[in-house]
């Protein structure tokens, strides 16, 4: 199953980033990176720096393609954390030719 990148996927990412930014402004830890628990840099555009925001899929799209567009499967994370997590995922070399955030 190929990863999709439809307009709906794009909208989900934008809305998820906006939600995280709003929560962070309120000091809500729910906006923090779910992998390392540190604050995410919401002042910069997503996926532009290691500390920038990245939409991580709690259940990997690789195994749960039907959940890619499900907001309940989305987690706030650092671009760097999601990247390192992905590298440690099972079956390296199979798929994920493109970064997980795109
Ligand atoms: Zn992190």
Does residue 101 lie in a domain region?
no
Task: Report yes or no on 30 lying in a domain.
Answer: yes
The verdict on residue 68 lying in a domain is: yes
How close is the Cα of 74 to the center of ligand 1, in Å? 14
Tally the domains of the chain: 1
pLDDT tens per residue across span 8-48: 888 999 999 999 999 999 999 999 999 999 999 999 999 99
Determine the distance separating the centroid of ligand 1 and the alpha carbon of 96, expressed in angstroms: 20
Q: Which residues crowd ion ligand 1, with CB under 5 Å?
A: 33, 35-36, 78, 81
Domain assignment present for 82: yes
Dump pLDDT digits (tens) for 69-90: 898 999 999 999 999 887 665 4
């899929």: which residue's tokens?
A: 57
Task: Give this prediction's pTM.
Answer: 0.77
Residue 93 lies in a domain: no
State both tokens at 81: 């954390």
Q: What is the 3-state secondary structure (H, E, C) of the chain?
A: CCCCCCHHHHHHHHHHHHHHHHHHHCCCHHHCCCCCCCCCECCCCCCCCCCEEEEEECCCCCCCHHHCCCHHHEEEEEHHHHHHHHHCCCCCCCCCCCCCCC
Q: Which range marks the domain in which residue 54 is found?
A: 15-87
Separation CA 67–CA 85 (nearest Å): 18
Is 36 among the domain residues?
yes
Please check whether residue 31 lies inside any domain of the structure.
yes
Does 42 map to a domain?
yes
């Amino acid at each position: 199953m190929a990863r999709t990148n439809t307009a709906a996927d794009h909208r989900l990412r934008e809305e998820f980033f906006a939600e995280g930014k709003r929560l962070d402004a309120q000091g809500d830890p729910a906006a923090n990176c779910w992998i390392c628990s540190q604050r995410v840099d919401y002042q910069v555009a997503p996926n532009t720096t290691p500390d920038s925001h990245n939409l991580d899929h709690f259940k990997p799209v690789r195994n749960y393609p039907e959940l890619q567009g499900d907001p309940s499967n989305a987690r706030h994370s650092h671009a760097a954390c999601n990247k390192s997590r992905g590298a440690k995922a099972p079956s390296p070399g199979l798929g994920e030719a493109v970064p997980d955030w795109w």
